[in-house]
């Protein structure tokens, strides 16, 4: 880190060139603190100080376009010709505030918040949206690794950030919690083509600011949906490509009617056969948003509908089959009465998830805004499986035929749940302080039950229920946070959150074991930091945060009431140190982090029969790393964005517990051995990304996009037999925006993924056992698609 400050000192002695300075005020003449001032087509940008002043240095003489923006005010663009010292004073006028913006802002990091974050804007999202799920659209986010069960980014996808899995990543949409309360994950497959209704996404790495919903242990993902357009519009977008992938999206909006009303809608149909055999997707979704505003208040309603039908692919490909058939899928495989290998044709996952959200915002005065939101999410669906030679007793069944203990079975595992709650925040903005107090209360109830719809022996009632259990979760949180400017150089940040969780399980699991148990948690999560503006082109920050997190349903389920096996809560102490440097032709940001865990739940490398990781507590573990992002624009036609994460992710004093089988009589002996300090599973020590952009013609861009992910282990023994090999993948993308007079906007895109046809796996699971003291391995991998392409055409009227 010291080298960056030395570089800063060197730059301080350089000729500052032209300077532009001025004041940013509102219509009443009051200073606007924290307004963003960016220089178009450069990396330069500053924020106005508490007294509304700003200054940008290191500019060459010439003509520039300056963009002034601040939440709640209309954006302004000013073209100026610079020579020497120049003064530009700007007066911003208020714009209509949308509830989604206000609620999102309450849980996001601000410009002077000393935390590590990365924001993806609407234009980038639109360019990267070919119908893939959000983990793949966010692929270039620092420290992020995306995975796909089908191998092509559609269907069941997931992500890890800094090695933390999705159950440790808090996700909100317009400030409303999106994580499933039991698994604490977001299943992106239930929200097909969500990106087509998203305006921007902020990814806070580490603990992040206080938010609603699940605890953040790896990152916080804050999604803001699109606000209505002032003018009527209609959009059509279609994608087609490899694996019979087709996506059709239609969007339309009324524009602002009578100065008060607006309505917009989006419908999507997405289908793909997938790269892996029988992992096809058949998805539909809709997004509807209505708005009503007055001079001081705003009411907004969102409805998000999702329907998915996906071939099961969570078993992966056995290691021994990888070199023979990378597309092999064992799901639904059986041998018929003639000894022929066949596959059950409805081995599938089917689910409907609908979100209903109502927002209300009231502007009390120039400094004070109140907002609240009610939300309700309903979900229902099942996955269907063929099970060959299933033991009837395991389903509570008994065959009428004497001695018949097994049968082929077709079963369905169902989920039916409801999640509703209230969130709120009070926001105060003054000359030196931005303060927010808020919180929420949520209630969840989910039923899990299984049905037998067919057996090969005996006569049983179709749809016979063999198990049922319920999970009920209540969550309450309250927080207060503030950014305070001590002077024009230094600001301080404080954030305090209290969170209460009550979780209860009743009924029997699919193995007929009683799941009855109850857990309560009281968490206090403080955060504090400093943000230092070194000069108009350099910033630095330091923060320390504490986070606590409860185990998931699957963690509790695996323990099945065994008090000695019941997982413990986790605690994280997160320190972040960052530096940012901006120049006209380059930008550089570096962030160092040290995440120290107490009782972290880490994956054992094994999966449950529904694809969940089986976890175990480890007393002490840590993640230590540095994230570097750089951008250069040496020529008007060329720019290069680079990202690099280098890290150490370790468990200290890890003890492996295992069973050793004596092959002479197959007796078992339970043993353990100390492995010392080991890598945390699924935590690559090196992640890199590169995006080279060539603007070869007007309205034409060509991208060469590469990503590298270093080796990672999928258990905690650091065995080379249970390792995901490092990989690098390169994609080519062409963006065209031809001008057609009768059409507002035309887009034509072509992307070739994995241009070098690299054979790689992005995920895996497995474990080990011992025979006569010799270690054996079992492993399943998730191969990703080779060279493939997609074409997208979009029109806006």
pLDDT at 526 exceeding the cut of 60:
yes
| Residue listed under structure tokens 């895109």 | 749
Angle at 480 between CA 220 and CA 296, to 5 degrees: 95
Mean pLDDT (whole number) for 740-746: 90
Output the pLDDT for position 562. Answer: 65
Q: What pLDDT sits at residue 14?
A: 42
Which residue did the predictor score with more confidence, 565 or 652?
652
- Of 214-218, 350-354, 501-505, 549-553, minimum mean pLDDT range: 214-218
- Cβ neighbours, 10 Å, residue 339: 6
Cα(403)–Cα(419) distance, rounded to whole angstroms? 46
* Domain extents in the chain: 17-95, 225-796
- pLDDT at 12 > cutoff 70: no
Rounded mean pLDDT of 319-338? 94
pLDDT at 98: 54
Residue-level pLDDT at 557: 84
pLDDT of residue 7: 41
Residue 368, token pair as written in the block: 């004070």
Instruction: State yes or no: pLDDT of 173 exceeds 90.
Output: yes
Say what the pLDDT of residue 8 is: 42
Distance of CA 496 to the CA centre of its chain: 24
Beta-strand pair 85-87/116-120: unpaired
Closest by alpha carbon to 41, among 16, 6, 4, 67? Answer: 67
The Cα–Cα gap between 153 and 130 comes to 10
pLDDT, tens digit (0-9, with 9 covering 90-100), for 114-141: 989 989 988 899 999 999 999 999 999 9
Structural contact between residues 623 and 680, judged by C-beta atoms closer than 8 angstroms: yes
Alpha-carbon gap, residue 465 to 410, rounded angstroms: 12
Supply the pLDDT for residue 649.
97
DSSP reduced 3-state for 658 = strand
Which DSSP letter does residue 196 get?
G
Strands (E), 636-787: 638-662, 667-679, 686-697, 700-709, 712-713, 723-724, 727-736, 745-753, 761-771, 774-783
225-796: CATH number: 2.40.170.20
- Over residues 555-571, mean pLDDT: 78
In CATH, what is the architecture of 17-95? Sandwich (2.60)
Handedness of CA 161, 163, 166, 169 (dihedral sign): negative
Helix (H, G, I), strand (E, B) or coil at 486: coil
Q: How many helices (H) and strands (E) does the chain have?
A: 5, 45
Identify the helix (H) or strand (E) that includes residue 345. Answer: none
The whole-number pLDDT of residue 561 equals 58
Q: How far is it, in rounded angstroms, from Cα 748 to Cα 738?
A: 8
When pLDDT is cut at 50, 70 and 90, the band that residue 676 belongs to is very high
Mean pLDDT, the chain, as a whole number? 90
In this predicted structure, the answer to whether residue 54 has a pLDDT above a threshold of 60 is yes
Summarised one tens digit per residue, pLDDT across range 68-126 is 988 778 888 998 888 888 899 999 887 755 545 556 677 788 778 898 998 998 889 99
Residue 793 is encoded by which pair of tokens? Answer: 């055409």
**What's the average model confidence in pLDDT over 613-621?**
80
Name the token pair of 526. Answer: 């403080």
Note whether 17-95 and 225-796 share their fold: no
Structural contact between residues 18 and 82, judged by C-beta atoms closer than 8 angstroms: yes
Residue 1 has pLDDT above 50, yes or no: no
How many Cβ atoms are within 10 Å of 62's Cβ, its own excluded?
12
Beta strand 745-753 with 490-507 is unpaired
Q: How many CA atoms lie within 13 A of 428 on its CB side?
A: 11
DSSP states along 554-589: HHHHHHTT-TTTPPPPEEEEEEEEEEEEE-SSEEEE
Q: What pTM value is reported for the model?
A: 0.89
| Proportion of the chain above pLDDT 70, given as a percent | 94
CA dist list (Å): 578 to 138, 354, 490:
22, 40, 14
Mean pLDDT, range 496-509, rounded to an integer: 95
Helices (H), 170-305: none
DSSP class of residue 192 equals T
pLDDT digit string (tens) for 433-468? 889 999 999 999 999 999 999 998 877 788 899 999
Instruction: Kindly state the average pLDDT of the residues 37-43.
Output: 85
Alpha carbon separation from 732 to 124, 691, 753 (Å, rounded): 16, 10, 7
The predicted model gives 643-662 an average pLDDT of: 92
- Of 619, 753, 657, 655, give the one whose Cα is nearest residue 139: 753
The 10s digit of each residue's pLDDT in 594-603 is 999 998 888 7
Please, are residues 653 and 678 in contact by the beta-carbon 8 Å criterion?
no
Cα 499 from Cα 364, distance rounded (Å): 28
Displacement of CA 183 from its chain's centroid (Å): 15
Identify the pLDDT of residue 488: 83
| Model confidence at 609: pLDDT above 70 | no
Largest CA distance in the chain: 98
* pLDDT single digits (tens) 237-277: 999 999 999 999 999 999 989 888 999 999 999 999 999 99
Query: Rounded distance, CA 188 to CA 178, Å?
Result: 10
- Hey, what's the torsion of the CAs at 769, 774, 777, 778, to 10 degrees? -50
Tell me the mean pLDDT in the region 706-712: 97
How far CA 384 is from CA of 232, 586, 721, in Å, comes to 44, 53, 32
3-class SS of residue 428: strand
Using one digit for the tens of pLDDT, what is the confidence trace for 412-434? Answer: 999 999 999 999 999 998 888 88
For residues 646 and 626, the answer to whether their CB atoms sit within 8 Å is: yes
Q: Is the pLDDT of residue 351 over 90?
A: yes
Residue 318 token pair = 């056995």
Instruction: Using alpha carbons, select from 342, 341, 349, 340 the residue that is nearest to residue 274.
Output: 349
Is 264 or 27 the better-scoring residue by pLDDT? 264
Overall average pLDDT of the 656-676 stretch: 89
Task: Classify residue 226 by its DSSP letter.
Answer: P
| Range of weakest confidence among 642-656, 659-673, 776-790 | 659-673
Mean pLDDT of 681-710: 95
Tell me the C-alpha distance between 309 and 569, whole Å: 35
Angstrom distances, CA of residue 753 to CA of 196, 313, 411, 707: 21, 21, 37, 11
- If pLDDT is split at 50, 70 and 90, which confidence band does 3 have? very low
């Amino acid at each position: 880190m010291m080298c960056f400050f030395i570089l800063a000192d060197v730059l301080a002695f350089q000729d500052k060139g032209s300077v532009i300075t001025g004041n940013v005020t509102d219509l009443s003449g009051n200073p606007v603190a924290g307004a963003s001032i960016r220089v178009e087509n450069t990396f330069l940008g500053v924020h106005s100080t508490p007294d509304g002043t700003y200054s940008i240095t290191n500019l060459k003489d010439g003509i520039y376009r300056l963009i002034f923006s601040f939440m709640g005010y209309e954006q302004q663009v000013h073209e100026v010709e610079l020579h020497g010292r120049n003064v530009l004073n700007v007066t911003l006028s208020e714009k209509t505030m949308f509830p989604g913006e206000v609620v999102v802002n309450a849980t996001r990091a601000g410009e002077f918040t000393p935390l590590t974050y990365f924001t993806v804007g609407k234009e980038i999202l639109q360019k990267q949206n070919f119908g893939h799920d959000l983990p793949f659209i966010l692929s270039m986010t620092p420290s992020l690794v995306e995975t796909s069960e089908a191998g092509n980014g559609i269907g069941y996808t997931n992500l890890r950030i800094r090695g933390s899995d999705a159950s440790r990543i808090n996700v909100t949409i317009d400030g409303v919690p999106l994580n499933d309360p039991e698994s604490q994950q977001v299943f992106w497959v239930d929200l097909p083509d969500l990106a087509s209704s998203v305006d921007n996404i902020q990814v806070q790495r580490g603990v992040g600011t206080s938010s609603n919903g699940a605890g953040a242990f790896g990152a916080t993902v804050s999604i803001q949906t699109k606000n209505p357009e002032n003018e009527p519009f209609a959009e059509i977008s279609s994608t087609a490509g490899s694996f019979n992938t087709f996506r059709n999206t239609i969007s339309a909006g009324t524009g602002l009617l009578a100065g008060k009303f607006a309505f917009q809608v989006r419908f999507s149909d997405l289908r793909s056969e997938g790269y892996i055999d029988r992992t096809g997707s058949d998805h539909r979704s809709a997004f509807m948003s209505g708005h009503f505003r007055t001079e001081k208040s705003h009411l907004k309603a969102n409805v998000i509908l999702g329907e998915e039908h996906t071939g099961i692919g969570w078993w992966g490909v056995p290691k021994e089959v990888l070199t023979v058939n990378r597309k092999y899928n064992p799901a639904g495989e059986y041998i018929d009465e003639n000894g022929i290998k066949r596959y059950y044709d409805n081995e599938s996952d089917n689910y409907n998830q609908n979100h209903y959200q109502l927002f209300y915002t009231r502007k009390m005065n120039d400094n004070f805004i109140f907002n609240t939101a009610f939300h309700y999410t309903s979900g229902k669906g099942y996955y269907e499986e063929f099970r060959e030679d299933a033991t009837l007793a395991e389903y509570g069944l008994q065959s009428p035929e004497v001695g018949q203990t097994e049968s082929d079975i077709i079963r369905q595992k169902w989920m039916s749940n409801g999640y509703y709650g209230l969130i709120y925040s009070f926001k105060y903005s003054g000359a030196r302080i931005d303060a927010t107090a808020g919180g929420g209360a949520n209630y969840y109830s989910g039923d899990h039950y299984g049905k037998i719809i067919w057996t090969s022996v005996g006569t049983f009632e179709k749809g016979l229920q063999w198990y049922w259990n319920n999970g009920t979760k209540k969550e309450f949180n309250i927080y207060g946070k503030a950014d305070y400017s001590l002077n024009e150089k230094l600001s301080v940040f404080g954030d305090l959150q209290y969170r209460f969780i009550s979780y209860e399980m009743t009924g029997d699991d699919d193995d007929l074991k009683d799941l009855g148990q109850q857990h309560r948690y009281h968490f206090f999560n403080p955060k504090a930091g400093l943000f230092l503006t070194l000069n108009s082109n350099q910033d630095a920050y330091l923060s320390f945060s504490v986070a606590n997190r409860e185990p998931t349903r699957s963690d509790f389920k695996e323990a099945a009431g065994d008090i000695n096996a019941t997982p413990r809560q986790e605690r994280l102490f997160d320190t972040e140190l960052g530096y940012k440097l901006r120049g006209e032709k380059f930008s550089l940001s570096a962030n160092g982090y040290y995440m120290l865990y107490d009782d972290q739940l880490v994956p054992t490398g094994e999966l449950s029969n529904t694809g969940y990781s089986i976890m175990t507590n480890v007393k002490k573990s840590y993640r230590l790393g540095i994230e570097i992002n750089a951008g250069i624009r040496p020529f008007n036609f060329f720019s290069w964005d680079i990202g690099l994460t280098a890290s150490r992710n370790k468990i200290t004093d890890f003890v492996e517990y295992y069973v050793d089988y004596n092959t002479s009589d197959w007796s078992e002996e339970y043993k353990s051995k100390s492995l010392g300090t080991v890598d945390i599973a699924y935590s690559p020590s090196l992640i890199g990304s590169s995006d080279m952009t060539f603007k070869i013609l007007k309205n034409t861009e060509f991208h060469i996009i590469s990503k590298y992910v270093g080796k990672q282990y999928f258990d905690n023994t650091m065995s080379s037999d249970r390792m995901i090999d490092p990989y690098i993948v390169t994609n080519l993308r062409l963006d065209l925006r031809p001008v057609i007079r009768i059409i507002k906007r035309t887009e034509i895109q072509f992307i070739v993924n994995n241009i070098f046809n690299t054979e790689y796996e992005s995920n895996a699971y497995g474990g080990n056992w011992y025979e006569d003291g010799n270690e054996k391995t079992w492993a399943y991998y998730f191969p990703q698609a080779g060279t493939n392409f997609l074409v997208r055409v979009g029109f806006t009227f």
